[in-house]
Structure 1
């Protein structure tokens, strides 16, 4: 198993700290993670504390089995737990991974926190893990997420129709975006310049 699963990195810039998800974070995540708007167009059906605890436990189990690398997002401006994100669908053979499963509490939205997270995740993927491709996908109905992906320089590749059945039973179309290694230096400079120290 690759060392990223056994010893996940801690990623940080002046705005955000991404630390490996642990059960110690659950209380803080539950405090910000139960707003219905966070899960309105999500694959996951999260309505209760127990739902969110199970979601987080599953993420940790996926790290233990080499499927994902989940992080807790900490907003350094307030020193509060703000949400969660992860690497998933990781293929070292094909030098690609997906950044996703991202949510931040309502009070942290539109503050630049998500952009700061994406910078750290992209930089580590391309510059440390030496990935050639980073994928992002979202529900076709999630216009906020789609716009955020476009604004950070990702290329919209297309829509996979009836791609997933959500936990709520809805047939979901998924929109795929990507950034490839050749594009990263320019995107980093133009879209994430404030995080280059």
Structure 2
């Protein structure tokens, strides 16, 4: 297993990212029910009954060296409130993607995403020495697009008619990136936002 597909614990003030395991299933069922996230037609969050299959899928992809999956745990409650992963792993090109991310509805609009991304970007750029971190977001997922842009990522382009979703709609995919040259300023902005300065 390459370092890119490992999911070590990463801890901040608000969240702890820990290796996703079947033990997170109960918490994640409650988290995805918080806001009925599966009803958002432009995302791929499973219904509560599909959480076990999602966990199994992430772990199988990790075993194949294709993904690093984390449970996002609220440090106050100790409960998992979401999932995030590294995927699109390309160590030979010093590139990876952050995706398959979702949070309980009550965690959205808080510092959870900012801190989780701060931890993931710090690991990717400072520890793994990647040159490029990508995000791929549905054109109509305005909330996620705004969150990615708020991190300092730039829109590289839009892949038109890129993916056919399970509901039959065709997704235009927005490709964003944050490169290592962007990181000093992006890190400063995130640290300011998180009250770390």
Structure 1 and Structure 2 fold alike (TM over 0.5)? yes
Q: Is 1:36 matched up with 2:15?
A: no
List alignment gaps of at least 5 residues for structure 2: none
Q: Is 1:89 matched up with 2:96?
A: no
Q: Give the match for residue 149 of structure 1.
A: 148
Superposition deviation, residue 74 in structure 1? 0.6
Secondary structure at 1:46 match in 2: coil
Secondary structure at 1:33 match in 2: helix
Q: Distance in 1 between matches of 2:9 and 2:175?
A: 27
Q: Is 1:64 matched up with 2:63?
A: yes
Secondary structure at 1:185 match in 2: helix
TM-score (norm 1): 0.92
Q: Distance in 2 between matches of 1:45 and 1:13?
A: 25
Secondary structure at 1:17 match in 2: strand
Q: Distance in 1 between matches of 2:152 and 2:3?
A: 29
Q: Distance in 2 between matches of 1:142 and 1:73?
A: 21
Is the 1:45–1:167 Cα contact (8 Å) retained in structure 2? no
Superposition deviation, residue 22 in structure 1? 0.3
**Structure 1 residues 11, 93: closer, same or farther in 2, change over 3 A?**
same
Q: Distance in 2 between matches of 1:143 and 1:52?
A: 24
**Structure 1 residues 79, 137: closer, same or farther in 2, change over 3 A?**
same
Superposition deviation, residue 133 in structure 1? 0.1
- Aligned-residue CA RMSD (Å): 1.8
Q: Is 1:186 matched up with 2:185?
A: yes
List alignment gaps of at least 5 residues for structure 1: none
Superposition deviation, residue 83 in structure 1? 0.4
Q: Give the match for residue 11 of structure 1.
A: 10
TM-score (norm 2): 0.92
Q: Distance in 2 between matches of 1:9 and 1:163?
A: 32
Q: Superposed, which structure 2 residues align to 1:168-179 within 5 Å?
A: 168-179=167-178
Secondary structure at 1:58 match in 2: helix
Q: Distance in 2 between matches of 1:136 and 1:4?
A: 16
Cα deviation digits, residues 84-130 of structure 1 (max 9, x gap): 00000010000000001110001111111011000000000000000
